[in-house]
Amino acid sequence: MTQTTRPSIPGYTLGTPEVATSPITDAEFALLKQTVLLGDDDVRYLRMAGEVLSDQIEAILDVWYGFVGSNAHLVHYFSGADGKPDARYLGAVRQRFAQWIRDTCAANYDRAWLDYQHEIGLRHTSAKKNRTDGLVSPAPHIHLRYLIAFIVPITATIKPFLSKKGHSAADVDGMYTAWFKAVTLQITLWSEPYVAPSAF
Amino acid sequence: MTQTTRPSIPGYTLGTPEVATSPITDAEFALLKQTVLLGDDDVRYLRMAGEVLSDQIEAILDVWYGFVGSNAHLVHYFSGADGKPDARYLGAVRQRFAQWIRDTCAANYDRAWLDYQHEIGLRHTSAKKNRTDGLVSPAPHIHLRYLIAFIVPITATIKPFLSKKGHSAADVDGMYTAWFKAVTLQITLWSEPYVAPSAF
Ligand code: HEM
Ligand code: HEM
């Protein structure tokens, strides 16, 4: 992930001093990667996925936003002061979400990346949700239940997109498994601010 | 899941009055199932997986226990008073784990099932870990990070076993996806006692 591939997206602060600091040590992070079985092959497959997905990002986001938008219990988290979905908020987050797909495929798992995982986690909790976009919202945080449950839609829905560029079944499987590991690893990191330090 | 398929396993208390009561309402549970995209097709595929896996359970547990046993940071949670892995504890949990595979494939998602999910969640926290087997352990709870991260090994390692009975690629995929949803749904439920009620 090189500096030059990071476009200027409102509120996207990876690598800047505004970002929170991850409490995870290198040793702890190594054990986490080991636990989700993330190895060099997976990193190679993530890079392959990055190429495969690069021109499909808006279509992927249409699927994810379609799912959120058609579920009142989910779109609730995007509501503004009037209790209705806030289009500006949805749009701003969507741009950062697009970048997240690229970052997930390009991740080098360095400190800047780890710190930004902590930042994204906080942005799902009452510590930082709504702040980046200056929103007044009746939803102060994303409930942990949906954060974890979302591993499924964010993983399962990616497969058709991975299959669209004529790769072998083995390569599609490899990319899919690598994506699954990468998403689960990130949700694990994002869960940290939800619990007492001793329980994480 | 009929009463008759439940063998007598030490500490396995599904459907008994000793089990904790799930705080999840029916409406909340319906939304969770919707969020992990769990539908009737998945339930049918879980039943198919139950047949496919029924005579492979010890082999599956060998893989999972092999993974835990070869990782000091994981086997630690099975240590007894002397700080070493407790063979009696490992063996007792293994029997309940075998039953869990059967239960996951046979789940009808009723109240008894939901209550037992809450019970299993508690058995991973300091509220109930070590109690069932009367253990004195230096590990008072499973850290949430590994509970979530384990979605990967518990899911990814099942695929070869699902492929072993000559089912079509489409059926293996269907069983695999249903298993993924079922595991993620359960880990979501198990995370409840880790956080403040307002954050779950
Ligand atoms: C696998 C689970 C999830 C993934 C991968 C994910 C991904 C993301 C990403 C990449 C961002 C933008 C981060 C940034 O600011 O750079 C974000 C923000 C956000 N997500 Fe999620 N998300 C997940 C679960 C959820 C769920 C379940 C909801 C609830 C519907 C949700 C609602 C939001 C909202 C409202 C924001 C904006 C937060 C803010 O005010 O800054 N997310 N998410
Ligand atoms: C996907 C994640 C996991 C699944 C599906 C799972 C499954 C289970 C099951 C079915 C049981 C027995 C429940 C019963 O008493 O009927 C159990 C207990 C246990 N698990 Fe997990 N587990 C997971 C994560 C972990 C992790 C990461 C560890 C740490 C290595 C762990 C360590 C234990 C221990 C020590 C017990 C015994 C708890 C007690 O004292 O009662 N589990 N698990």
In a domain, A3, yes or no: no
In-domain check, residue B13: no
Distance of CA B105 to the CA centre of its chain: 11
Domain that holds residue A133: 26-194
Q: Is A30 within a domain?
A: yes
Q: In the numeric block, which tokens belong to residue B93?
A: 């949990």
CATH code (residue B187): 1.10.490.10
- Rounded to the nearest whole angstrom, what is the distance from the C-alpha of residue B132 to the centroid of ligand 1? 38
Residue A137: φ, ψ to 5°: -130, 145
Is B8 inside a domain boundary? no
Give the span between the Cα atoms of A146 and B107, in whole angstroms: 21
Q: Which ligand gives the minimal distance to the CA of B97?
A: 2
Question: What residue's CA is closest to ligand 1, atom 30?
Answer: A74
Angle between helices A40-53 and A87-106 (to 10 degrees): 130
Residue A55 maps to a domain: yes
CB A193 within 8 A of CB A121: yes
A141 lies within 8 A of chain B by CB: yes
Question: Which residue has the least CA distance to atom 28 on ligand 1?
Answer: A142
What per-residue confidence (pLDDT) applies to B2? 44
Q: Tens-digit pLDDT profile for chain B (200 aa)?
A: 444 456 699 999 999 999 999 999 999 999 999 999 999 999 999 999 999 999 999 999 999 999 999 999 999 999 999 999 999 999 999 999 999 999 999 999 999 999 999 999 999 999 999 999 999 999 999 999 999 999 999 999 999 999 999 999 999 999 999 999 999 999 999 999 999 999 99
Q: Report if residue B157 sits inside a domain.
A: yes
The per-residue pLDDT for A3 is 45
Number of domains in chain B: 1
Structure tokens at A136: 């007044």
Q: Is the CB of B118 under 6 A from ligand 2?
A: no
Q: Give the residue carrying structure tokens 């949670």.
A: B77
H-state helical runs in A11-86: 26-35, 40-53, 57-69, 72-75
| Interchain CB distance below 8 Å, B145 and A191 | yes
Q: How far is the CA of A157 from the centre of ligand 1 (A)?
A: 16
Residue ranges in chain A whose pLDDT is less than 70: 1-7
Ligand 1: which of A60, A84, A124 to mutate, judged by most atoms within 8 Å of the beta carbon?
A124
- Residue closest to A33 by CA, chosen among A114, A123, A93: A114
**Helix pair angle (B111-124, B169-190), 10° resolution:** 70
Establish if B147 belongs to a structural domain: yes
Which B residues, 44 through 73, put their C-beta within 8 Å of a C-beta on chain A?
A: 71, 73
Please check whether residue B68 lies inside any domain of the structure: yes
Q: Which amino acid is at A49?
A: A
Number of H helices, E strands in chain B: 10, 0
pLDDT for B123 equals 98
Other CB atoms within 10 A of residue A30 CB: 13
Tokens of A79: 């509501």
The answer to whether residue B141 neighbours chain A at the CB level (below 8 Å) is yes
